[in-house]
Amino acid sequence: QIRLNGDVLQLNPDGSLPPFKPVIIDPSQIISLPALSMAFIVIHGAEINACTSQ
């Protein structure tokens, strides 16, 4: 079972992926994840060297 923002993800009847709706949080908020979980996090304006193409 895979969850996104607490909701179980299920394929659409035609087998396509459902739309992914982001959760936007205050940048000062701490992000905590349960053990053995994964996250896709976008940090707008972070300008991290390892994440930019040069």
pLDDT given at position 11:
92
Question: What does each C-alpha distance from 44 to 1, 3, 7 come to in angstroms?
Answer: 29, 23, 24
Burial code of 13-33, b = ≥16 C-beta within 10 A, e = fewer? eeeeeeeeeeeeeeeeeeeee
pLDDT given at position 39:
84
pLDDT given at position 52:
75
The dihedral of CA 18, 40, 1, 30: what is its sign?
negative
pLDDT given at position 34:
87
pLDDT given at position 12:
93
7-54: pLDDT as tens digits: 888 999 999 988 888 888 888 889 888 898 888 888 888 788 887 776
